[in-house]
Amino acid sequence: MKYSIENVSKDFFSGRSGGRRALHGVALVVPAGEHLSVLGSSGSGKTTLFRLLNATLRPTRGSVRMDGYDFSEMSTGELRGARRRIGTIYQQHNLVPSLTSLQNTLCGCLGRWSMAQTVRSIFYPGATDVQEAMHALELVGLADKRFSRADELSGGQQQRLAIARVLMQKPEVILADEPIASLDRALADEIISLLIRVGAQGRRTLIVALHQVEFALEHFPRVIGLGEGRMRFDLPSNSVHDDVLQDLYGKHRPDSQRVQDEKTFQREFGCSR
Amino acid sequence: MRRLSNANSAALASDLFVRGRLWTLRRIASLVAMAFGLAIVWRIDGVQLNTVFQRSTAQALWTLLRGLFPPDLSLGFLGVVFRALLSTLATATAGTFLSVLIAIPLAALSTSILWRRGALVAADQGSRVAILRAAASRAVLAFLGFLRAIPDLVWGLLFVTAVGLGSLAGTLALAVAYAGVLGRIYADAFADVDPRPLEALQSIGATRAQIFLRGIWPQARPTVIAYTLYSFECCVRAASVLGFVGAGGIGYEISLSMRLFEYGQALTLILAFVVLLASTDVVSRRLRRSLQPNAGQAEAPGFGQENRASRNGSIGPTLSRAGYALVGAIVAGSFYFAGFTPQHFGDAHVLGNMLRFWRGMFPPDLAEEFLLGMGPLLLQTLAISILGTIIGIALGGLLAIPATSTLVLVERDSPGLQSASQRTLRWSILCAARFALNVLRSIPDLVWVLLCIVVIGIGPFAGTLAIGLHTAGVLGKLYAETLEEAPRQPVEALRAVGAGPFQVLFWGLWPQAKRMLASYTIVRWETNLRVSAILGLVGGGGLGQAVYNNVQLGFYARLGTLLLLIYALVMVSDWLGDSIFRRSVAT
């Protein structure tokens, strides 16, 4: 599935304080099956971009097209069909807290369930659905937590559960908003490679927002940078250099990057800076 | 990673219901028990579903509807309505005033800190005197509980019998019933004050009366005032309904019009009643809100250096001299309108009647045959409350779904096309559902009883339906509000998966809101049990019927027994409601 975003701006209006512009004239084309990483510090508009891409937010100006069809021109039913094809992993996980892990995973099916199936599944989900959900839970390593409520899980476990829900949805596009923010290094590696493996499986488009520059450069062939709601760069990962990043993050570069620099420095000069 | 086999997954599906606590033996057992209980309740209640589908019912409904419209707006009748509204307001004001006068001393008596010997704050536990004193404060609290447990309508009937028809009986009934309510609240407010200033006062050498006036009262005053206003609001509601047993006010006019088959007049009165309630609601809410910021400040303990004027300002509202005069005039006028005229009250018969009547109730009639005769009525009361609540849950739940904006309206910032006609349709569905809920809710349950009696005849079924209709309005509104307030983020995630409104409801809103919904329902059932005990006063079956009959026949000893029964019923329902509530919160 191919995305094309044309000159999109998004303003938020909030009562007294007036408006805030979250995105300024962003343009982007993502061909089907491409793996793309979005870099940017907090408040740079990444989350807004993702909500535009998953068809839950209307742009103030410009258009978001999926295979050439504009989200803004779809009927309510068509829009639901489009959303079914796009899986989202939210930064705050957005799980239903009082449902079990298994039930939360089953939520991924909602788009393809009929009304009758929806009601029935609360009490007695179909065996194939359960099998699929269990498989998804096993992939993210949560099989033993299947009967724990989502709000009883740790941050990292909730993150993996959110991924299991997307696996269950079997979308054509996976949007992941900082999917490894609450994970340790080893698990982060595993989750990123899992996402990439899943993406590669069905030639799925994969768009991942990351804080960790080294992950983005290592795993994604294309990297874009967002800063203050504007597109700062759109480059193949092998031509993203320090000066580009310096420009993106200003002086406040993420800690991991600073550690990375320190490592390079030590390796080259054999002593600390 | 291992893939699950097919056989494995079938086992898993069943596993889900055991481990996922969906289909356990306990659950099945409780379902069976519930079905069984429902069948019994159905049987006791005497539901005659076939009467609903008879032609005569439809005809009666048609006659009622045709009679209701148009409402009677002739000038002469509007005068009657105005006088009825005035007398209702007067009854409520005078009743509230009297209830405050009764409640404050009783609440002060129940404040255990004032009963202690020696140091007030350090408890003198263990000594016999201490136990006696604790018992004294408990006894006052139990008395307040009794006043509160007897429904205001029953008090109304008792006072009508004692002092005759009219607002005077209504005022006295409100005074006694709400003295129980307010006394309990005041007692809590007095008990919750910061003890340190009291200790300081005691060390200065203040007497108990001084400690109460200078230490407890200033701290409790904002709470006391806020709840008194709230109680006034309830009194207006109650004063309007008390007329059903002949205690004056607008309720009397409503029941008169219904009895004379003047449905057009009844509709005018009901509308006036709804307007009265809505406006007291607004006024009282505004007054309470204007007190709110002060209430927070006044809780700060200690004696600061500020001068007295500003302290007074921070403790509660201060009235100018003219303000006091105005309030005094309103209260005096209310007493006059409520029938506290010298010639009426100075009449020795009123007090003598009252005394004779009260003496007639002691000792209560505890003859076995009478008690056994009450058994079925007690069960019927219980059945009416349960079945009425179930009807309310079903109808209210059904109406709550289209009244929830999260489900009906498309999110404001969502992409996608939406024609103007579609948007209008969604809005009108929402507004229609909310309007229906408001109509159901603002017509009081007793008025619903009168309307139901016209359509399906006197009896417990009319009472059940009436409770069901009113409860549907109350619960439906609460349900819709609760669903709307459920956290949005999970709902957004489900929408992004492609879920439609019903899927959002079942998988996103219901799991998050079900606990709140259950608690609201239990609380409502408790209220309904109280209501079902008095429905009989206007022909809705249950214990109220026996109360009414025995009052009419002059069997006051039996009346005493019935009051005790109602008291016990309310106590049991409180306890049951609390324990169900605690369990549903715990699991």
Q: Which of B14, B507, B515, B516 to probe by mutation at the A interface, max A CB count within 10 Å?
A: B507
Of the residues A170, A189, A220, which one is the last residue of a structural domain?
Answer: A170
CATH of B368-409+418-586, one of 3.40.50.1100, 1.10.3720.10, 3.10.20.30, 1.10.3210.10: 1.10.3720.10
Dist. CA B107–CA B100, nearest whole Å: 10
Nearest to A83 among B2, B19, B496 (CB): B496
**Chain A partners of B508 at a C-beta cutoff of 8 Å?**
96
- Show the domain range for A41: 1-85+172-273
Domain residues of chain B, as ranges?
A: 73-302+324-360, 368-409+418-586
Dist. CA B56–CA B4, nearest whole Å: 63
Q: Is residue A221 part of a domain?
A: yes
Whether A136 and A265 share a structural domain = no
**Chain B partners of A117 at a C-beta cutoff of 8 Å?**
none
Q: How far is CA A84 from CA A111, A122, B489, in A?
A: 5, 20, 17
Rounded to a whole number of angstroms, the distance from the CA of B420 to the nearest CA of chain A is 13
Q: Is the separation of the CB atoms in B90 and B337 below 8 Å?
A: yes
CATH number at residue A205: 3.40.50.300
What mean pLDDT is reported for chain A? Answer: 84
Q: Which residue of B has its CA nearest to A106?
A: B507
Dist. CA B384–CA B397, nearest whole Å: 19
Q: Does the pLDDT value for residue A207 go beyond 90? A: yes
Whether A198 and A243 share a structural domain = yes
Whether A140 and A225 share a structural domain = no
Q: What is the DSSP letter of B411?
A: P
Whether A194 and A246 share a structural domain = yes
Q: Is residue A6 part of a domain?
A: yes
Dist. CA B324–CA B314, nearest whole Å: 19
Q: Is the separation of the CB atoms in B560 and B161 below 8 Å?
A: no
Q: Assign residue B6 a region: left if phi > 0, alpha if psi is -120 to 50, beta otherwise?
A: alpha
Instruction: List the A61-66 sheet strands across, edge first.
Output: A18-30, A3-14, A61-66, A69-70
Q: Is residue A90 part of a domain?
A: no
Q: In what helix (H) or strand (E) does residue B1 lie, and over which residues does it extend?
A: none
Q: pLDDT exceeding 90 applies to what percent of chain A?
A: 18
Dist. CA B276–CA B243, nearest whole Å: 15
Domains identified in chain A, total number: 2
The pLDDT assigned to B400 comes to 95
Q: What is the DSSP letter of A70?
A: E
Whether A6 and A77 share a structural domain = yes
The pLDDT assigned to B302 comes to 36
Place of tokens 């909030």: A14
Are B12 and A115 an interchain contact pair (Cβ–Cβ within 8 Å)?
no
Interface check B100 vs A, CB under 8 A: no
Q: Is the peptide bond before B70 cis (omega within 30 degrees of 0)?
A: yes
The whole-angstrom distance between residue B562's C-alpha and the CA centroid of its chain comes to 21
Q: Tell me the two tokens of residue A197.
A: 């493996």
Dist. CA A73–CA A62, nearest whole Å: 12
Higher pLDDT pick, A141 / B394: B394
State the CATH class of domain B73-302+324-360. mainly alpha
Are A76 and B418 an interchain contact pair (Cβ–Cβ within 8 Å)?
yes
Mean pLDDT of A135-150: 88
Whether A130 and A179 share a structural domain = no
Judge residue A86's burial from the number of C-beta atoms within 10 Å of its C-beta, 0-12 exposed, 13-18 middle, 19 or more buried: buried
Whether A109 and A240 share a structural domain = no
pLDDT (tens, 9 = 90+) of chain B, 587 residues, equals: 344 444 454 445 544 443 445 556 777 888 888 888 888 877 777 666 676 677 777 888 888 888 888 888 888 888 888 988 988 999 999 999 999 999 999 998 888 777 666 555 555 556 666 777 778 888 888 888 888 888 888 888 888 887 778 888 889 899 999 999 899 889 888 888 888 888 888 888 888 888 888 888 888 888 888 888 888 888 888 888 888 888 878 888 888 888 888 888 888 988 898 888 888 888 887 877 776 554 444 333 333 333 333 344 444 455 667 777 888 888 888 888 777 776 666 565 667 777 787 788 778 877 778 888 888 888 888 888 989 999 999 999 999 999 998 888 887 778 877 788 888 999 999 999 999 998 898 888 888 998 888 888 888 888 999 999 999 999 999 999 999 988 888 998 998 888 888 889 988 898 888 888 888 888 888 889 888 888 888 888 888 888 888 888 888 888 888 888 888 888 888 788 777 767 665 54
Q: Which residue of A has its CA nearest to B501?
A: A115
Residues 14-33 on B with a CB inside 8 Å of A are 16-17, 19-23
Residues 475-534 on B with a CB inside 8 Å of A are 487, 489-490, 492-500, 502-503, 506-508, 511-512, 514-515
The pLDDT assigned to B291 comes to 67
Whether A80 and A106 share a structural domain = no
Interface check B369 vs A, CB under 8 A: no
Whether A204 and A80 share a structural domain = yes
Whether A244 and A124 share a structural domain = no
Whether A69 and A166 share a structural domain = no
Are B496 and A55 an interchain contact pair (Cβ–Cβ within 8 Å)?
yes
Bridge partners (DSSP) of residue A9 are A61
Are A111 and B498 an interchain contact pair (Cβ–Cβ within 8 Å)?
yes
Dist. CA A101–CA A30, nearest whole Å: 32
The pLDDT tens digits of the residues spanning A170-198 come to 899 999 998 887 678 888 888 888 888 88
Of the residues A170, A194, A209, which one is the last residue of a structural domain?
Answer: A170
Nearest to A119 among B414, B493, B506 (CB): B506
Judge residue B364's burial from the number of C-beta atoms within 10 Å of its C-beta, 0-12 exposed, 13-18 middle, 19 or more buried: middle
